[in-house]
């Protein structure tokens, strides 16, 4: 949803990827610009959600099924099982599946907008058009009159529209808010939840505090991060993010040899690295205590 990202992805020349610029997207929907003027940036992003699959269907009518996904999803296997549940129906949604201790969070929606599928048929289009109109009318980052952002509207879909499937596969809706629901096991080099394979995990709220520590956002959901989940889900995800971040450096490359101001900044960085080295020596000493008593929410970043 910004020009910098658009240009980076264009330069990467990813196979089988059709990139849409923000300008082209907004040019197709003048009503979005009215919404953009009366809500925050995140609220505007929420408002755009139903327009994105509609844009694809409008410009690529040969597309039979379009799936919207949040950027903080990470996949551990294919979506074959998900589409098997959708079968010949029109809309697929995934429940939050809150445990009893978090039932009060349903005021934000029974279902999660993180992943949604729509078939390009009468039922799928009717649902998308209704959702689009509701988001244009009201789409704010607060709970008000049984509404919340773009998400609470999904509560009505199973009763309002034909062909709506609520996904049952546990491994396709795993997220911090429902970790406490399941029993985890390791079998044949695979992490299972209640015996089912993990298809994807929603890394909602993961935040890098600094280059060494990442907050997993688990504490906010009244649970602890199981060691197996930390090792088999979070660490591979963070490793992948680190690799992506490292590889993107070439798209922001700077010629250090020709810029004196940069030379000066390097000298400062060298001084900072000495301080960091000393901090790391202290960290190595205190790390066992940190991990034992504090580190349920936090993960040490590694490359």
Tens digits of residue pLDDT in 201-242: 999 999 988 878 899 999 889 899 999 999 999 999 999 988
Residue spans of the domains in the chain: they are 3-168, 179-300
At 266, is the pLDDT very low, low, confident or very high (cuts 50, 70, 90)? very low
Q: In the prediction, which pLDDT does 44 show?
A: 96
- 271-297, pLDDT tens digit by residue? 444 444 444 444 454 455 444 444 456
pTM exceeds 0.85, yes or no: no
Q: In the prediction, which pLDDT does 157 show?
A: 98
Q: In the prediction, which pLDDT does 211 show?
A: 74
Return d(Cα 259, Cα 268) in angstroms, integer: 15
Residue 254 has pLDDT above 80, yes or no: no
Q: What dotted CATH number matches 3-168?
A: 3.90.550
Q: In the prediction, which pLDDT does 192 show?
A: 95
| C-alpha dihedral sign at 77, 80, 85, 86 | positive
> Strand pairing partners for 185?
192
Return d(Cα 272, Cα 50) in angstroms, integer: 46
- 100-146, pLDDT tens digit by residue? 999 999 999 999 999 999 999 999 999 999 999 999 999 999 999 99
Close Cβ partners of 131 (under 8 Å, ≥ 6 residues apart): 50, 150, 153
Length of the chain: 303
Q: Find the DSSP H helices in 138-259.
A: 157-160, 227-229, 235-248
């Amino acid at each position: 949803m910004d020009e910098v990202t658009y240009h980076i992805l264009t330069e990467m020349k990813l196979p089988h990827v059709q990139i849409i610029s923000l300008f082209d997207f907004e040019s197709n929907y003048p009503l979005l610009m009215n919404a953009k003027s009366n809500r925050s940036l995140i609220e505007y992003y929420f408002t755009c959600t139903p327009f994105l699959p509609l844009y694809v269907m409008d410009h690529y009518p040969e597309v039979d099924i379009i799936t919207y996904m949040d950027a903080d999803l990470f996949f551990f296997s294919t979506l074959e099982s998900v589409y098997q549940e959708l079968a010949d129906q029109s809309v697929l949604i995934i429940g939050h599946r809150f445990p009893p201790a978090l039932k009060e969070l349903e005021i934000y929606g029974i279902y999660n907008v993180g992943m949604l599928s729509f078939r390009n048929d009468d039922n799928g289009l009717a649902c998308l058009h209704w959702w689009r109109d509701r988001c244009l009318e009201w789409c704010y980052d607060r709970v008000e009159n049984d509404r919340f952002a773009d998400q609470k509207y999904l509560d009505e879909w199973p009763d309002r529209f034909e062909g709506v499937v609520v996904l049952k596969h546990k491994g396709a809706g795993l997220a911090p808010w429902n970790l406490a629901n399941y029993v985890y096991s390791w079998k044949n080099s695979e992490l299972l939840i209640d015996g089912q394979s993990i298809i994807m995990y929603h890394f909602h709220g993961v935040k890098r505090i600094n280059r060494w520590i990442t907050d997993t956002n688990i504490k906010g959901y009244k649970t602890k991060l199981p060691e197996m989940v930390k090792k088999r889900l979070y660490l591979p995800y963070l490793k992948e993010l680190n690799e992506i971040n490292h590889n993107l450096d070439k798209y922001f490359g700077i010629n250090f040899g020709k810029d004196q101001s940069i030379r000066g900044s390097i000298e400062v960085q060298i001084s900072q690295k000495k301080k960091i080295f000393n901090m790391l020596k202290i960290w190595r000493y205190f790390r066992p205590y940190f991990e034992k008593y504090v580190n349920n929410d936090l993960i040490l970043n590694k490359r």
